[in-house]
Amino acid sequence: MSLQIFILGMLCEGEHHPYDMKKMLLKPLENAISINDGTLYYNFEVLHKKGYIEKKQVVQSENRPERTTYGITDKGREALENEIYSAFQNVTSVLSLYSSLMFLDKVNPHKLAFILEEVIAKRERNLEQVELANLGLPGVPENKKEAVRLVVDHAGQALKQDVEWLKKLLVYVRGLQ
């Protein structure tokens, strides 16, 4: 999951304090996503230095640390859109798309559908290669063939699952058009 996409996307929805953002959305997903406070605050600082987000309000209350609320800049909105497209173009794992999925309303669905079609075609070509690789396993020593078959089988199943899921996502994105 790209934490920076998540932060920028959430700030597109409204101004937030990092800790409030973590409680609001990450808490229900804590079993799927592991983000510690240091990583969260570090990414806020990185985005601030890039000019993607800006400090909106600093509140100091008794017996509590200072709380800074952030908002997104125009440069940040543009970066969010580009990062979402990039996440899909360079996908290595469906898990890495989770944060992008939450903010598909921030991108052009026609462009994203085109990107998804390319990603699906590439995964299907990879699946064909995996299936062909499992046929004879030339060059693999006999005592390693079963282990290699298991690896190839798992890779093939994972690719099939990814392709099926990406096709469902493509149908969803086309529905946004």
Give the other-Cβ count within 10 Å of 75's Cβ: 13
Using the predicted structure, report yes or no on whether residue 171 has a pLDDT greater than 90.
Answer: yes
Write out the two tokens for 14: 């409204």
The CB density around residue 143, as the number of other CB atoms within 10 Å, is 7
Report residue 92: phi and psi, to 5°: -115, -20
Query: What pLDDT digit, counting tens, does each position of 8-66 carry?
Result: 999 999 999 888 887 776 665 655 566 777 888 899 999 999 999 999 998 877 777 78
pLDDT at 3 > cutoff 90: no
Mind listing the pLDDT tens digit for each residue in 76-105?
999 999 999 999 999 988 888 988 998 999
pLDDT band at 1 (very low <50, low <70, confident <90, very high): very low
Ranges 99-113, 126-140, 143-157: which has the least confidence: 126-140
Residues 3-91, CATH architecture: Orthogonal Bundle (1.10)
DSSP string, 52-85: SEEEEEEE--TTS--EEEEEE-HHHHHHHHHHHH
User: Do 8 and 53 meet the contact criterion of CB atoms below 8 Å apart?
Assistant: yes
